[in-house]
Amino acid sequence: MIEVIAYVLERGHFSPKEINDEFSENVFRNYIEGIDGQHRFFLQSDINNFNRFKKELDNQIKASDIAFFDLSHKRLMSRMEQVKEFYEELLEIPFDFDKEENIDLNFKEMSYASTLNELKSIWRKRFKFSTLDTYSSKIQSEITKREEDSTYQIRSKVIIEEEAREKTRKDIENSFEVIGEIQRKDWFSIYVNSITLAYDPHSNYFPPEEKERFDQNISGKFEGIGARLQKKNQEVKITEIIAGGPVWNDKLLEAGDIILKVAQKDGEPVEIGSMPLGDAVKLIKGPKGTQVFLTVKRVNGLIEEVVITRDIVEIEESYSKSSLINKNDKLYGLIELPKFYIDFKDNGSRNAASDVKKEIEQLKQRNVEGIIIDLRNNGGGSLKTVVEMTGFFIDEGPVVQVKSTGGIEKVLKDKDPAIIWDGSLVILVNEFSASASEILAAALQDYKRAIVIGSKQTFGKGTVQNVIDLNRIISGSTHGDLGAVKLTTDKFYRINGGSTQLEGVKSDIVILDRYAYVNLGEKDQENPLTWDQIKPAKYKLWPNQFNYDYALSESSQRLASNFYIKLVDEQAKWVLLQQDDYEYTLNYDVYLNEREENLKATDRFKNLNDFDSNLSFEWLPEAGVEVNEEIKERRNRWVENLEKDFYINEAVNVLEDLNLNLDPSKKLLQNKK
C-alpha cells in the first residue's frame, strides 16, 4: 500500500518531493512525534536505536519495506507494557503537595528519559500534576460546603489526597484500556500519514473507516459537539467551531483550545493525546441529548472541565443571515456568512452565492447606505460560489488565479457585467477566516472595492485538496479496501499575483483580538507550502471609492485612543505569556496563588464584554423560510451579541466615512496620499 500512496503523491501533489534522505528524515520525525510526541514511553536508547533508520526510510518506502515500522511498533508495545507494570506502584505513595516541585511540559524541547527510573520519575510528576488539580477542586468543594453549612466538618487533606490519587489511577487505567484497543493497523496509519505530512500539513491518508467519516463531514451532516479537530504533537486541538452546533450555540469552546481528556456521564476521564484522532473523535461524538465532559486547556493556558450536551448541528445556522443596523436614523446592512456552502449533487439546492444575493436585494429594499460582509471564523468552502459572489460587487473581471499540479495556471473570472451592490462595502475577517474567505477578501481588497477590517492577517491557507480513492488506482486489489489519500493539488493566487498561502490577507484596518500575538493559522502548521507569486492578472481598480484613504485615516485615529483596544492588547499579551509558559508548579500553595492571579487577569478582561455599541439591530427573516420560535430565539441571541461587537461598531463608522461628502481640501489631501 505504501508504494501506491507514494505513487499518487509523487504524480498528483502540487509540490512533489524527491524521496531522498531529507524526505526520510522528515518522515522519521513526523512518525516519532506521532506515536510518542510527549515522550511518555520511549527511552533515549530506543531513539538512538531508531536513528539508524533516519536516512533509510526513503529506500524502505520505495521497496515497500516496513522493517522500521515493525521495529518501532514492537518497541512501543513493550515500553507501554513496562509503564503499565509500574504506574500502580507510583500511585500507592501519597503525594506531598507542600514540596517545592515543578513539571515541564515543553515536549518539543524535552529530552527522552535516559533510564527506566528516570521515566518513572517523569510519570510520577505527571500523575502528581493530574492529582493536584483534583485535590484542589475537592478542597474547594469542602470549603464551599462549610460556607453553606457551618456545622459541616471539613474532611482531612490526607483523605482528600487519597481520593484524588485514586481518581488519577482510574484515569490512567481507563487510558490504557483505550490504548489497548488500538490495533496494529491504526498505528500503521500513523506511519503512513507521516509520509503524507512530509509533503504538506493538509495531505493525509484515510483508512477505510476514516474515509467514511470524512465523507460524512463533507456532506454537512454533523452529530456530536460541533467542532473540527486536528492532532499535532499528540495534542488534539480544536481548529474550527461548526456553526449551528452545541459548542457554537453556547460558546463553550474556541478554536485553539486543546482537549486533554474525555469522559462520559458517570465515567472516568480518558486521556486522548496518545490515541489516533479517529478514536478520540469516537469518544467525543455520541447521540443527541447525551453529555460529554471535556478537560480542556484554553488558549490562555487555563485548564478546566467543559460539559457539552451533544446535538445534531442545525444546518440552518450554517447559512447566511442578515440584519439591519440603525445608527442616527441611517440604515446599514450586515450579512453574516459562516461558510461558502454548495451541494454539487443537487443543482436546485441553496448555495452561499444565491443566498447572499437574496440578502443583498432584501437590504437594498430597505435603502441601506452600506453593507458589511462578516467572514469571521469562515473556514472556506466552494470556490464556485466565491467567484460568483465577488461578481456581485464588481464589473466583469478576474477574481482569483489557480495554479495546478504540473504548473498549469488559469484565471477564474466574473463574466457577468451586472453589479448587485455598488455602494460602500466592508469585509470583516479574523485569524480563522480561511481559504475561500481569503479569496473573496483578497479580490475585493485588490480592486479597492472594499475595506478589510479585522486581525493582522487571515489564516493563510492558499491551497486546494482533492481526495483520491486508492481502490481506483489498483483495481481488483487483494488487500481489501485501501482507503483514500487527500492531497494538495492546487494553489490560490490573488489577482495581484501574490499567493494567499501563509500570508493570508492583511487587513486594511487592524483591530487586535486575544490571538494577536499567538501563532495561529497556516504558519503554525508543520511543513506548510511556501509563499510565492505569479504574474498579476489584468484588472481595473474600482472607480467609485472616493473616500478610501480618508476612511482608513479616520479609523486609525479612532482606534489609537480607544480604551477597548488597549485592553484587548493587554489581553493578547497575557495570552501569549500563558502560551509560552510550559512550567507548572506541583506545590499546592503556589498552585492556588497562580490560579488566583490568573482569575484576577481573566476577571479584568471580562470588562471587554461590557462594550455597548449603542447601535440598534433588526434581523431580517429569510424569504420563504418559516420563522418558528426556535429561530426567533437564535436570531434574538445573535442580535444581542451584535450589540456588543466592537468590530461591527467600527465597520459602521468606516461605512459612514466612505459615504461622507468631503470638501475639496480633504479630497485633495487624500489624493496626495
Cβ neighbours for 468, distance < 8 A, ≥ 6 positions apart: 8, 12, 484, 485, 486, 487
Which CATH number goes with the domain that contains 386?
A: 3.90.226.10
Residue 191 has pLDDT above 90, yes or no: yes
Q: Please check the confidence at residue 637 and state whether its pLDDT lies above 90.
A: no
Handedness of CA 362, 368, 370, 373 (dihedral sign): negative
**Residue 27 near residue 194 (C-beta atoms within 8 A):** yes
- Beta strand pairing call for 370-374 and 291-297: unpaired
SS3 424: strand
Mean pLDDT for 225-248 is: 78
Please, which residues have CB within 8 angstroms of residue 261's CB and are 6 or more apart in sequence? 171, 269, 270, 271, 272, 294, 295
Position 180 scores a pLDDT of 86
The neighbour count for residue 299, using CB atoms within 10 Å, is 21
Q: At what angle do helices 436-446 and 383-390 cross, to 10 degrees?
A: 20
Q: Which pLDDT does position 404 carry in this prediction?
A: 94
pLDDT score for 230: 77
The pLDDT confidence band at residue 671, using thresholds 50, 70 and 90, is very low
Residues 370 and 422 reside in one and the same domain: yes
| DSSP helix/strand/coil, 113 | strand
Q: What percent of the chain has pLDDT over 90?
A: 62
Tell me the pLDDT tens digit for each residue of 159-176.
999 999 999 999 899 888
The residue out of 255, 279, 312 marking a domain boundary is 312
In a domain, residue 205? The reply is no
Residue 458 has pLDDT above 80, yes or no: yes
* Residue 240: band (very low, low, confident or very high) from pLDDT cuts 50, 70, 90: confident
In this structure, are 307 and 379 located in the same domain? no
pLDDT of residue 200: 95
| Residue 343 pLDDT | 76
Predicted pLDDT of residue 479: 59
pLDDT band at 330 (very low <50, low <70, confident <90, very high): very high
The verdict on residue 5 lying in a domain is: no
The more confidently predicted of residues 354 and 665 is: 354
Give the mean model confidence (pLDDT) for residues 329-346. Answer: 89
> Domain range spanning residue 242?
222-312
pLDDT tens digits, 598-623? 888 888 888 888 888 999 999 998 76
pLDDT for the residue numbered 216: 43
Look at residue 212 in the predicted model and tell me its pLDDT.
55
Ranking 196-200, 389-393, 635-639 by mean pLDDT, the lowest is: 635-639
Average pLDDT over residues 240-246: 76
Please report whether residue 381 resides in a domain.
yes
Predicted confidence at residue 669, as pLDDT, reads 39
- 290 lies in a domain? yes
pLDDT, residue 480, reads: 65
478 pLDDT band, cuts 50/70/90, is low
First to last CA, the chain: 60
pLDDT for the residue numbered 672: 35
Binned at pLDDT 50, 70 and 90, residue 83 comes out as: very high
Q: How many helices (H) and strands (E) does the chain have?
A: 21, 22
Q: Are residues 519 and 647 in the same domain?
A: yes
If 0-12 CB within 10 Å is exposed, 13-18 middle and 19+ buried, where does residue 650 land? buried
Stronger pLDDT, 649 or 341, i.e. the higher one: 649
**Which CATH number goes with the domain that contains 246?**
2.30.42.10
As a whole number, mean pLDDT of residues 579-606 equals 89
Given this model, what pLDDT does residue 544 score? Answer: 86
Residue 12 in domain: no
Longest dimension (CA), the chain: 83
pLDDT, residue 477, reads 54
Per-residue pLDDT band at 670 (split at 50, 70, 90): very low
Residues 126 and 273 placed together within one structural domain of the fold? no
pLDDT for residue 450: 97
The model's pLDDT over 399-429, given as tens digits with 9 standing for 90+, comes to 999 999 988 999 999 999 999 999 999 999 9
Is 79 in contact with 43 (CB distance < 8 Å)?
yes
Residues for the chain: how many in total?
A: 673
Q: What is the pLDDT of residue 76?
A: 97
Same domain flag for 294 and 336: no
Average pLDDT of the chain is 89
Residue 400 resides in a domain:
yes
294 with 323, same domain? no
Buried (b) or exposed (e) across 441-474, using 16+ Cβ within 10 A? Answer: bbbbbbbebbbbbbbbbbbbbbbbbeebebbeee
**pLDDT value, residue 313:** 65
Q: Which of 152, 175, 194 is the last residue of a domain?
A: 194
Domain count, the chain: 3
Reported confidence tier of residue 315, pLDDT bands at 50, 70, 90: low
**What average pLDDT does this structure show over 307-335?**
87
Measured torsion, CA atoms of residues 604, 606, 608, 611, in degrees rounded to the nearest 10: -120
Task: Kindly state whether residues 135 and 179 are assigned to the same domain.
Answer: yes
Q: Are residues 35 and 109 in the same domain?
A: yes
Residue 355 shares a structural domain with residue 445: yes
Q: Does 170 reside within a domain? A: yes
Distance of CA 269 to the CA centre of its chain: 23
pLDDT at 211: 58
Residues 256 and 361 in one domain: no
Q: Which of 56-65, 348-357, 496-505 has the lowest mean pLDDT?
A: 348-357
Instruction: Decide if pLDDT at 106 tops 60.
Output: yes
* 328 and 370 inside one domain: yes
In a domain, 487, yes or no: yes
Q: How confident is the model at residue 624 (pLDDT cuts 50, 70, 90)?
A: low
Both 117 and 228 in one domain: the answer is no
pLDDT of residue 667: 45
Boundary (domain end) residue, out of 253, 280, 312: 312
pLDDT > 70: percent of the chain? 93
**pLDDT at site 219:** 36
